[in-house]
Amino acid sequence: MAEIDPQSTETSVPFYPDHVSLEAKVVIGVSVLALVVGLIGLFAPVGLGDPADPMNTPAHVKPEWYFLGLYQLLKYISKTAGAVLPILAVLVITFWPFIDRKPDTSRKSYSRRAIGVVVFMVILMAMTIWGEVS
């Protein structure tokens, strides 16, 4: 059996009165905070405004900057294609390394891919800026 070191018991903190009282103080503090927030909400409620109208979108509503290119794209193609094409593009980019397994030795294919990426990025940046200013 393990021996109990007398010095370790002198420096230890007992669980029952100390830990339980600390946890009780935390529970009381959180309860008081929840009560204060509830009373503030009861006596000073925040107004909700007009109910949402799905047929009337305000003119100032725009998505975050990282969706502005896709938002602008939806103005020029059908909504179904605008929802499906980005998903298909992400799936193609994800699975392309598993589909194309041949070694790349040609400098021509590298330059074609680089030009394609540059053209895509310029179009995406232009659509994003265009979506912001429109």
What digits encode the pLDDT tens for the residues 69-94?
988 888 888 889 988 999 999 999 99
Q: For residue 6, is it within any domain?
A: no
Q: What domain range is 110 assigned to?
A: 65-133
Is 8 a domain residue?
A: no
- The answer on 107 and 83 residing in a single domain is yes
Nearest to 73 by CA among 96, 89, 60, 59: 89
Q: Which pLDDT value is given to residue 1? A: 52
Paired tokens of 124: 């995406």
Virtual torsion, Cα 28, 30, 35, 40, nearest 10 deg = 140
* 69 and 122 co-located in one domain: yes
55: in domain: no
The total of structural domains in the chain comes to 2
Question: Does residue 3 lie within any of the structural domains?
Answer: no
* Residue 25 sits in the same domain as residue 79: no
Share the mean pLDDT of the chain: 87
Name the token pair of 130.
């265009």
Whole-model pTM? 0.52
User: Do 36 and 82 have their domain in common?
Assistant: no
In a domain, 129, yes or no: yes
